[in-house]
A and B are shown apart, each in its own frame.
Chain A
Amino acid sequence: MIGHFPLMIVYSSLVALFLSLLWQSEKKGRIRLFLQVFLGMVLGGLAMAWLMYPFPSGPPAPFP
């Protein structure tokens, strides 16, 4: 099992690549959209993690 952050990087890369290929037809536009989506997801995820840091995680959820 690889860590949370590498998984987030892989997931964000694949989604950003997919959307840039789907929504843009020129190379420059694709690179720009890729960076926007990728950085938005990664930096947004880090920002959310930072905002949630003061809150305790609480007891683990029971298995169903």
Chain B
Amino acid sequence: MKEATRDRRQPAEIALALVAGWLIPGAGHFLLGRRRLGLAFLTIVAIMIALGVGLAGELYAFDSPDRLSKLGALAEASLGVPYLVLELGLRYEGKIREVGYSYGTAFLLTAGLMNILLLLDVYDRAVGRKE
């Protein structure tokens, strides 16, 4: 079994990287010193969000009675600040009658799921499981 030989970060540093990564996609990698990678992830997720909003995709809310919508809200809330700005700041919901609604929703959901994968990756890098 391959041992984790890389540096393990302090718990506070790990927590900071995870919180930063949740709030701003890619920020966790940036704080761990992988700046170009962090910027690349930020760019990709930002494009996904812009396309999702541009196509009038749905931004799910937690107060929906539908369980699947709550899961959608959980995925999209993983976007951190962009979700908060869209949900609370701009009161964005999406437009179901727009032609691109389904596509936009797929882009927004995928962007949220991407950030969950990024957070798992930040954790792995922070505890030394990944270089």
Contact = CB atoms under 8 A, between A and B. Distances in A.
Given A14-B44, A14-B48, A63-B96, A21 B37 contact: yes
A18 B44 contact: yes
Given A11-B110, A15-B110, A25 B131 contact: yes
A1 B101 CA distance: 10
Interface string A7-34: 1001100110110011001000000000
B96 A21 contact: no
Main secondary structure of the interface of B (DSSP, over half): helix
A45 B127 CA distance: 38
A1 B44 CA distance: 21
Contact of B40 (A15, A21, A63): A21
Contacts of B114: 18
Contacts of A17: 44
A7 B96 CA distance: 18
A1 B100 contact: yes
A63 B100 contact: no
A9 B118 CA distance: 23
A1 B55 CA distance: 7
B97 interface: yes
Given A11-B110, A14-B44, A64-B96, 19 more contacts: A1-B100, A7-B103, A10-B51, A11-B107, A14-B47, A14-B48, A15-B110, A17-B44, A18-B41, A18-B114, A21-B40, A21-B41, A21-B44, A22-B41, A22-B117, A22-B118, A22-B121, A25-B131, A63-B97
